[in-house]
Amino acid sequence: MSRKLEHEDILNLFREHPGTFVSGEEISQKLGVSRTAVWKKIRLLRDLGYTIDAVTSRGYRLAASPDALMIEELRSGLDTRVVGCELVFFDETDSTNTRARELGDQGHPAGTVVIADRQTAGKGRLGRKWVSPPGVNLYTSVLLRPPILPFDGPQLTFISAVAVARAIRDVSGLSPSVKWPNDILLSGKKVAGLLNEMNAETEGVRYIILGIGVNLNMDVAQFPEDLRYPATSVALEKGEAVSRLAFARTLYRHLDRLYLTYLDQGFAPIVSAWEELCDLVGRQVEVDCQSRILRGTVEGLDTDGALLVRTDNGTREKIMAGDVKPL
C-alpha cells in the first residue's frame, strides 16, 4: 500500500487540524504510505523552512510555515480560475520572463505562473536591468493566451498595473498610483515595474507574458545609486515588513479577476480602473517622446493603451512611448 507522497498531502492534513497533533500512524493510514515515508517527508518539509513539532506518543504538529514563496503554500491559498493553474518556482533564475517564454513555447496553459526568489539577469524595458536581490521581493511572470490581435497586446500591461496597485493597497493599506505606461508608485517613487512580452503572428497572439517585479521588503542599502527614478519598497513606505506569500496570493487573485473581466467585457473596465489609480489624469504634464517634448493635460488612456494628452494649443496627442512628468 505505497504511493508517491506529495508535500501538499501532509500539509493539507495538518491544515485540517490547525494547531493540533496528528499521529504518524494516522498520517500513514490516511495517506496510504509507510511511517518511514511520512518521517522522510516531515524532514524534507523542515528543510524547506516549515516548523514541525514532533512529540513522542502524540505525533506531529505544523507550528509555522515559512514566508518564503513556497509553491505548496501558495497553491493551497489560491482561489483563482486561470492565473496560477500551474506554478513554477525557482530559487534563482536569470529572468522569470525568459522561463515563462520557454513554457509558452512548450505549450503550457494560460495562467501558468513563474516565480523566482532571485533573478540574476532581471529585465526592464529596452534592455534595461531590474535589480532582483533574494529573500525580499516578488519577481513573477504570468503566461496568458488571450484571443486578441497583436495590436491589442499592450492592453494587458494595464491589467497587471491595476492588479499590482490593488494588491499593494490590500496588504499594506497604502495608496499606490500608476504611472503610464508601466510603473507603480508609492509616494511618487517606483515600487514596481512591469514588462509585457508578446509572441504573436499576424492573425493572433500565441501568448503574452506579464512580467511583474514588486519591491516588497527591499531595504535602502539594496537599491543601486544609479536608478533612473527614485525607488522604494512597500516595507520602506509602511514601516514594517509585508508577507511575500500574502502579497503573491492577493496579486494573483486580482490578476485573475481583471483578466476574466477583460475577456468578458473588453478593455473599457480596465481603462476606468487604471484611470482611477492614475493621479495624473486631469493634470498638466511634460512628455519626453525622445524626438520631441510636449506639454499638456492628461485626458486618459486610448483603446490601444496610448496616453491621451490635450496639448496647450488644443490638439489631442496620442503618446505611444515616452516619459511623463507632472508639472
What residue ranges bind ligand BT5 (CB under 6 A)?
95-97, 119, 122-126, 128-131, 139-141, 182, 190, 193-195, 211-213, 215, 227-228, 231
Report the residue number, 97 or 250, with the smaller CB distance to ligand BT5: 97
Give Cα separations from 131 to 7, 94, 192 (angstroms): 32, 11, 11
Q: Write down the least CB distance from residue 128 to ligand BT5, Å.
A: 4
For ligand BT5, the nearest residue by Cβ is 193
CB-based contacts of 204: which residues, under 8 Å, 6+ apart?
147, 148, 149, 150
| Shortest separation between residue 113's beta carbon and ligand BT5, angstroms | 11
d(CA 181, CA 124): 13
Q: Is 323 helix (H, G, I), strand (E, B) or coil?
A: strand
Residue 195 or 271 with smaller CB distance to ligand BT5: 195
Report CA Rg, the chain: 22
Closer by beta carbon to ligand BT5, 65 or else 232: 232
Shortest distance, CB of residue 185 to ligand BT5, whole angstroms?
Answer: 10
In angstroms, give the least distance from the CB of 170 to ligand BT5.
Answer: 20
Q: How far apart are CA 317 and CA 15, in angstroms?
A: 56
What is the spatial distance between Cα 115 and Cα 122, in angstroms, rounded to a whole number? 12
Contact 75, 88 (CB under 8 A): no
309 has which bridge partners?
298, 317
The C-alpha cell at 129 is: 536591468
C-alpha cell recorded at residue 249: 496570493
Q: How far is the CB of 149 from ligand BT5 (least distance, A)?
A: 24
Report in angstroms how near the CB of residue 28 gets to ligand BT5 at its nearest: 41
135 within 8 A of 66, measured Cβ to Cβ: no
- What is the smallest separation between the CB atom of 3 and ligand BT5, expressed in angstroms? 36
| Cβ pair 27, 38 in contact under 8 A | yes
- Least distance in angstroms from the C-beta of 139 to ligand BT5: 4
Residue type, 225: E
**Residues with Cβ within 8 Å of residue 113, at least 6 apart in sequence:** 83, 84, 86, 87, 88, 140, 141, 142, 143, 252
CB-based contact 259:217 (threshold 8 Å): no
